[in-house]
Amino acid sequence: MSRFASLAIASTVFTVCTAGMAATPASADTASLDTLHCPTGTSKTTYDPPISRTEVDTTRTIDQKYTGCVGTGAAAGVTSGTHKDSNVTRRSCLQLGSEGDVSWEIKWNNGKTSKVSAHRVSNLVGAVFTNTFTGKITDGLLAGHGFVETMTALSPEITECTLNGGTVSELNADHTLNVI
């Protein structure tokens, strides 16, 4: 093989290798631009029949709104979203301060959806009930991204239920969602 042919092959291999290397950081930079922050969400959860200290089968209905959203990259133009669900569950107010794995789907204002899976940790301190969801978007808009969602509710009804045997029929909360 001639010296010229060897140099041409080496040059081609170098060009192909460096072109592939240059493309990787550009892709990573693009993915890092996909963010979403929804600071002013709210939710209303109802229990029918109301829950008490004794476990009952109850229909739990969740109506959640993600608002004030600001997105970048693939989430540009997302300003709001919703999550609605209804199921029959066996609950008591004593179980509200617990943890577990959950999943749900969010419908965004741009017509796209995100399926999420998270670990939930709930706490009740005084009359303040909190949930922290830490997880990943498993499908749809921003799939593969992690997220943290916090829910905070002032709920003297939960405190009354856990301490004195009252009931909880409704829970209203504020939410913040950060997709990273």
Please give the structure tokens belonging to residue 116: 């999420």
pLDDT tens sequence across 10-24: 333 333 333 333 333
Which candidate, 121, 150, 144, 147, places its Cα nearest to that of 41?
150
All structural domains of the chain with their residue ranges: 1-32, 35-179
pTM of the model: 0.79
pLDDT tens sequence across 126-143: 889 999 999 999 999 999
Between the alpha carbon of residue 98 and those of residues 4, 19, 66, 142, 158, the distances in Å are: 72, 51, 24, 28, 13
pLDDT tens sequence across 93-120: 888 878 899 999 999 999 999 999 999 9
Residue 47 per-residue DSSP state:
E
| Cβ neighbours, 10 Å, residue 174 | 14
